[in-house]
Amino acid sequence: MSERDDDLLMADLLGEAPTTPDPGFRFDVLSRASIRARRRAALNKALNQVAFFSAVGLVFPVLGMLGVTWENAQPVLLAVGLLAFGVAVASVSILGPRAVLARSRAILTRA
């Protein structure tokens, strides 16, 4: 028996190579890839939320430390609040579950 044949025999005894592509294997791989992508997206979303709410929570103590009172910060806070409301409405309109502007966005994306 040649060295090559001997190697192939030992390789076969240690573990056979799948002879044909296995569609089930491909399906499992794509499924795992999708699960991992969803998990990563969820983690990013969670980190963004934690960062956002931490920043919001920090604003008031920092303003207090800087000596800004409620009365003199009121106009700025009102403007920030209105801006945040506008951003929230726009986000829900464009990206929300029943997006009002979803059709327009789809058309723009296709174009």
Partner 1 sequence: MDAAEEARLVRAARAGDTTAFGRLVDANQPAVRAFLRRFVGSYADADDLAQEAFARTWEVLDRFDGTSRLRTFICGVAFQYWRRARRADSRRMARDDAYAQLEDQETAGDARMAQKLALRRAMDELPDDQRAALALCLGQDFTHAEAAEILKLPLGTVKSHVTRGRARLQAALGVPAGAEQ
59 and 65 in contact (C-beta within 8 Å)? no
Instruction: Kindly state whether residue 109 participates in binding partner 1, applying the rule CB under 8 A.
Output: no
Query: Where is 47: in which H helix or E strand?
Result: helix 23-65
Measured CA to CA, the distance from residue 5 to residue 13 in angstroms comes to 12
Segment interacting with partner 1 (CB under 8 A) among 11-19, 41-49, 54-62, 94-102: 11-19
Segment interacting with partner 1 (CB under 8 A) among 24-32, 44-52, 72-80, 96-104: 24-32
Instruction: Kindly state whether residue 110 participates in binding partner 1, applying the rule CB under 8 A.
Output: no
Measured CA to CA, the distance from residue 46 to residue 26 in angstroms comes to 30
Measured CA to CA, the distance from residue 95 to residue 102 in angstroms comes to 7
Q: Which of 29, 43, 58, 59 binds partner 1 (CB under 8 A)?
A: 29
Q: Which residues bind partner 1 (CB under 8 A)?
A: 1-8, 10-19, 21-23, 25-26, 28-30, 32-33, 36-37, 40
